[in-house]
Structure 1
Amino acid sequence: MIAHKEINKKHNFALIVALAVFMLTAAFIGPSAYVKAVNIYDKIRVLNQIISIVNENYVEPVNWDEALDGAFLGMLDELDPHSSYIPRDHLEGITEQYHGKFEGIGIEFDLLGGYITVISPVVDSPSDRAGLQPGDKIISIDGKDAFGISREEVFTTLRGPKGSAVKIMIKRTGVEDPFEVEIIRDQIPIYSLVASFMIDDETGYMRLTRFASTSAEEVSEAINTLRSKGMSKLIFDLRTNSGGYLEQAVNIADLFITSNDTLVFTNGRKPDMSEVYTANRNQGYGDFAIIVLINRWSASASEIVAGAIQDLDRGLVVGETSFGKGLVQRQWPLKDGSALRVTIARYYTPSGRLIQRPYDKGNRDYYQDFGKKDREEVLDSLRIGKPKYKTKKGREVFGGGGISPDIHIPLIEYNAETNNLLGNPKRLTFNWGTGFANEKKGNWKNVHLFNQEFQVTDEILNDFYSFVGEKEVIFDKGDIGSDKAYIKSVLKAEVAGAIWGRSAYYNVLVSNDPNIRSALPHFEVAKEFLNAN
């Protein structure tokens, strides 16, 4: 429990500082701002009074770190859905996700059966070079038993300075005895482009999961690689990409535009927060047609890219109407190691469309609204009376609610039993796939032959169902119904991933993706846009 005198001293000091700032500021502000400052000071006094009463009288000791973090979050919730306070213990993970690198051994992992289980080694990482495989279980680290380890302990034990060593004991399916591997830690890139390959002789595919600090560089390198393989058509998959850095979105959009057109512009309360971002005609690629795939979870930076390509008639946008996040945040570090993200501007597509959805009904409705089954029908009806805009070549588009696709492909919904199997925390498909791959991996020379020759038969599917039963997961396979083909495609992808890595997993999954199959015929129209530019 925090001593009453100590907390009162701290908050009295805070009030003195706030009052001093208020008195100094008041001399330089007009009557209207003066009144607002008085109101803010009154609320600070009330907050101090609440803290004092709670600290002195509440029935149990108060965790003031959590309580005040909650107060900060509540205050920011009143502004908009995307301004936020990031506690110190969350900030490092969030920053790392978008910064693009860390130092360690380089594995994608999960905790399965009490042990660290390798989902996939990061390509060309120390774990990859040491020969770690999907499904490997790390049973000890530097001689210490790793059973029951927490995620936080995984990070503290496996990560470390570049050049330092760690010894891990591996238990591998099909190998009788555990064996030890010494791995020298290195700098590990966190790739945001998780897949890049040719679907066929002409069509390239790229899947970007977030807009991190290295995303534009990753996309540029992938484009060059795919062009060298003969790509004349590209599917750029931004489904479920929730965004990231604005600058990276601008740089990626610039890769597809060969004119000096505006890519996006922002409008803020302060002049220095309003900017116009223009394409550099000398660095765009204009020799392939493009289709951008989006869904209801594509947001923010994804919408900047999709909006620029649509408004400038560079290609087609296919899928569902996107999330509708058109607010720009700036992050400020705070003295205790936490951070504050505040909305500083709204962003607009080249035609002038504001992509931000209304949020006047509160955060609960804002986030629940986009998950409704009839969302697309509701959005269509709401477009009546919405502002209309024109693309560069005169096509009509609408503002006020995300990016509407040129070609609508509805969300495929799977039943509860399917979601239970595929989303189960025991990672049923992965575990089955690694076991099956261990027995069969010598049957195919490469993923291309595997994809052509291997099919998940009903017999193999029943083997998976038996495996699920052994894991004591209750399900009714009779309720799978029409989802059987999808489950088979996931199982096939898991086998490929277990043999050749995560890129192979996506390669096989994409080749059986019904949304991508639906998008491919629309390249005829996308080519018309390319030829007209």
Structure 2
Amino acid sequence: MVIILCGGLLLTGFFAFKAKNDKLFALAKNIDIFATLVRELDSYYVDEIDPDELVSIGINAMLEELDPYTEYVPEEESADFRMLTTGEYAGIGALIGGRGEGNIIIMPYTGFPAQSAGLKIADQLLKVDSVDVSKKNTSEVSDLLKGPANTPVKIKVKRNLDTLEFNLVRKKISLKNVPYYGKLDEKTGYIKLGDFTTNASLEVRNALIALKSQGAEKLVLDLRDNPGGLLSEAVEIVNLFIPKGKEVVKTIGKLENVNFTYKTTKTPLDKDIPLVVLINERSASASEIVAGALQDYDRAVLIGRKSFGKGLVQTTIPLTYNAQMKVTTAKYYIPSGRCIQAIDYAQTRENGEVYSIPDSLRKEFKTKNGRIVRDGAGIEPDEMIESKTYAPITYSLVARNHVFDYATEYFYKHPSIGKPREFSITDQEYQNFIKWLEGKEYDYTTYLEKSVSDMKKNAEKAPYYNEIKDQIEALEKRVNHSKEQDLITYKDEVKKVISEEIVSRYYFQEGMIEAGLLKDKDVLKALELIKQPSQLGKILTASAK
């Protein structure tokens, strides 16, 4: 028996060795074929080719077969990649974007060169130093604005009918992970966490300390629309609210060196403060670690909508010639043991369709208090709030930049406005907006109108169309919208959007966030719950049904 067993082990080892050698040979063979192919293309193809571009296209196409998060980063894109992971770059500190035939300032960041020098939202960029940028794309203009810290840059802009020049000095820009924090009422603090780059946990810590010093005894942490980022920052943020030595997340991959359990290492800042966390369908990755861990420990009530479902971990690996690869190396598992990855990319590669894990295959896990939670589809909130949908008239006015343009004109006619939360345009000012819209294009087709139109086209092909023609035309008249009437029907909604856009001209990003807080149904639900400790406790201790 021993001899047979040993022989079996030897055979197993032999086949493992052979399989590994076969795989290495296949890799070497295909790499050689690829290099030969590109070289011969360069020699024989009828037109000139760009080998760098071709190879990049080939690499990107190969990586796209794996998952959306495994990426190739060539040397020339390393600065942008570093900015995404650290939130730092050197420039003027402004978000720019394409508008018409040029680029404009979308948002100057508070306290940085663009805002300090007096650049305003809607300023159209004409020149950067001596370079005419009026017809360049946004990325080209952005590259010109960036540069080494403490170097000068001259910017020419068009503002209304004036042409202005600004002399700025580029500075190191550290984008805030916490763009806003404040109090919702006398006892409730609010922190908006927009990212997980370097120092995210420090910013949350400092915000919480400041809020507590102002009398906050409860907290709403807003993770909506947060795409995630650094895993280490997520662990530190969880550690602000749960005791030292607790598991936050575990990563498990193919290689031993990526398998790791991350635990809290410090005394929490406040392990008892009543806590509500807001999430939505765009809360992903590190956001889901924070929300999921706090849910698993029954430390916070989650409000909103099911999160994105990204349970994959990426590692940056250096390549030759200063290139890099961001590669998926593991899956992460939060304290209950669940992985919240929503899409099985291995299955997707096999059948060519996006393969979401069906409900029937989702496994049940339990929180600290025994509440049932499930894997495989993101983090599900404890209290579901339906997503806010805007009326077609509102979408049209925003998409066609009418709200943006009106806010800009309003800003130059009014030197100041009230505080962000208190400001709202009056009914008379709304009538001024409606009059301002005269002659401007903002019509649209509603979903119902499109459905009836499609039905009519199909019905016209039928031999009995004349019999139902009158009914269809009557239905068309009934569903056809009036954009003028919609401006009245959806007045409150349109006024809210205009008011928030106007606030951004005076108070920038921070003011825009604050202006919408007490009109936000997720925030209002959080306030309602957090004022009822018994209700919070009931949710967190509820037994599974």
On whether the aligned pair clears a TM of 0.5, the verdict is yes
Matching of residue 412 in structure 1 with residue 388 in structure 2: yes
Question: Which moved further from structure 2: 267-276 or 103-112?
Answer: 103-112
Indicate if the aligned counterparts of 1:330 and 1:343 stay in contact, CA closer than 8 A.
yes
Q: Structure 2: where are the runs of 5+ without partners?
A: 1-13, 445-481
Aligned to 1:83: 70
DSSP 3-state at the match of 2:345: coil
CA change 1:86–1:37 in 2 (3 A) is: same
Tell me how far 1:479 sits from its aligned partner. Answer: 5.9
Indicate if the aligned counterparts of 1:135 and 1:498 stay in contact, CA closer than 8 A.
no
Aligned to 1:121: 108
CA change 1:156–1:268 in 2 (3 A) is: closer
Alignment partners' CA distance in 2, 1:306 and 1:290: 11
Alignment partners' CA distance in 2, 1:527 and 1:75: 48
DSSP 3-state at the match of 2:95: strand
Aligned to 1:246: 231
Aligned to 1:528: 537
Aligned to 1:506: 513
Tell me how far 1:221 sits from its aligned partner. Answer: 1.6
Tell me how far 1:159 sits from its aligned partner. Answer: 3.0
Q: Match for 2:34 among 25, 42, 47?
A: 47
Report Cα offsets for 1:278-330 as digits up to 9, x if no partner.
Answer: 11351332342221111122111111001111001111111111111111111
DSSP 3-state at the match of 1:41: helix
Instruction: Give TM-score scaled by structure 2 length.
Output: 0.79
Report how many residues are paired.
Answer: 488
CA change 1:244–1:468 in 2 (3 A) is: farther
Indicate if the aligned counterparts of 1:414 and 1:483 stay in contact, CA closer than 8 A.
no
Indicate if the aligned counterparts of 1:81 and 1:359 stay in contact, CA closer than 8 A.
no
Matching of residue 345 in structure 1 with residue 347 in structure 2: no
Indicate if the aligned counterparts of 2:420 and 2:512 stay in contact, CA closer than 8 A.
no
Amino acid at match of 2:92: I
Tell me how far 1:352 sits from its aligned partner. Answer: 0.6
Alignment partners' CA distance in 1, 2:353 and 2:304: 20
CA change 1:183–1:388 in 2 (3 A) is: same
Indicate if the aligned counterparts of 1:298 and 1:322 stay in contact, CA closer than 8 A.
yes
Indicate if the aligned counterparts of 1:315 and 1:530 stay in contact, CA closer than 8 A.
no
CA change 1:39–1:481 in 2 (3 A) is: farther
Alignment partners' CA distance in 2, 1:104 and 1:359: 38
CA change 1:480–1:390 in 2 (3 A) is: farther
Q: Match for 1:447 among 395, 402, 420?
A: 420
Indicate if the aligned counterparts of 1:106 and 1:125 stay in contact, CA closer than 8 A.
yes
Alignment partners' CA distance in 1, 2:83 and 2:124: 25
CA change 1:222–1:471 in 2 (3 A) is: farther
DSSP 3-state at the match of 2:320: coil
Amino acid at match of 1:95: R
DSSP 3-state at the match of 2:416: helix
CA change 1:409–1:481 in 2 (3 A) is: farther
- 1:350-499 → structure 2 map (5 Å cutoff): 350-357=335-342, 358-362=344-348, 382-384=358-360, 386-424=362-400, 427-444=401-418, 446-448=419-421, 450-451=422-423, 454-457=424-427, 459-465=428-434, 467=436, 472-475=441-444, 477=483, 478=485, 484-499=491-506
CA change 1:222–1:63 in 2 (3 A) is: same
CA change 1:203–1:212 in 2 (3 A) is: same
Aligned to 1:35: 22
CA change 1:337–1:464 in 2 (3 A) is: farther
Question: Which moved further from structure 2: 163-172 or 117-126?
Answer: 163-172
Tell me how far 1:339 sits from its aligned partner. Answer: 1.8
Q: Answer with 1 or 2: which has the greater Rg.
A: 2
Matching of residue 102 in structure 1 with residue 76 in structure 2: no
Alignment partners' CA distance in 2, 1:482 and 1:83: 47
- 1:222-301 → structure 2 map (5 Å cutoff): 222-301=207-286
Report Cα offsets for 1:337-370 as digits up to 9, x if no partner.
Answer: 4321221111001111011122344279999788
CA change 1:466–1:455 in 2 (3 A) is: closer
Amino acid at match of 1:513: D
CA change 1:196–1:80 in 2 (3 A) is: same
CA change 1:89–1:512 in 2 (3 A) is: farther
Indicate if the aligned counterparts of 2:196 and 2:228 stay in contact, CA closer than 8 A.
yes
Tell me how far 1:165 sits from its aligned partner. Answer: 2.7
Tell me how far 1:220 sits from its aligned partner. Answer: 1.5
Indicate if the aligned counterparts of 1:348 and 1:355 stay in contact, CA closer than 8 A.
yes
Q: Match for 2:316 among 292, 306, 331?
A: 331
Tell me how far 1:417 sits from its aligned partner. Answer: 4.6
Q: Match for 1:64 among 22, 36, 51?
A: 51
Alignment partners' CA distance in 1, 2:324 and 2:157: 39
CA change 1:190–1:354 in 2 (3 A) is: same
DSSP 3-state at the match of 1:30: helix
CA change 1:465–1:73 in 2 (3 A) is: farther
Alignment partners' CA distance in 2, 1:488 and 1:367: 42
Alignment partners' CA distance in 2, 1:55 and 1:116: 37
Amino acid at match of 1:439: K
Report Cα offsets for 1:42-67 as digits up to 9, x if no partner.
Answer: 43354356546655665654433333
Report Cα offsets for 1:465-492 as digits up to 9, x if no partner.
Answer: 5555666554462567975533322211
Tell me how far 1:398 sits from its aligned partner. Answer: 0.8
Percent identical = 30
Question: Which moved further from structure 2: 310-319 or 485-494?
Answer: 485-494
Report Cα offsets for 1:189-233 as digits up to 9, x if no partner.
Answer: 212222222222222222222211121122122112222222222
DSSP 3-state at the match of 2:215: coil
Alignment partners' CA distance in 2, 1:166 and 1:416: 42
Aligned to 2:523: 516
Alignment partners' CA distance in 2, 1:367 and 1:305: 30
Instruction: Give TM-score scaled by structure 1 length.
Output: 0.81
Indicate if the aligned counterparts of 2:184 and 2:190 stay in contact, CA closer than 8 A.
yes
Amino acid at match of 1:283: P
Indicate if the aligned counterparts of 1:456 and 1:491 stay in contact, CA closer than 8 A.
no
Indicate if the aligned counterparts of 1:264 and 1:276 stay in contact, CA closer than 8 A.
yes
Q: Structure 1: where are the runs of 5+ without partners?
A: 1-26, 371-378
Please tell me the root mean square deviation across aligned C-alpha atoms, in Å: 3.4
Alignment partners' CA distance in 1, 2:209 and 2:50: 54
Matching of residue 320 in structure 1 with residue 305 in structure 2: yes
Alignment partners' CA distance in 2, 1:500 and 1:197: 14
CA change 1:341–1:123 in 2 (3 A) is: same
CA change 1:236–1:480 in 2 (3 A) is: farther
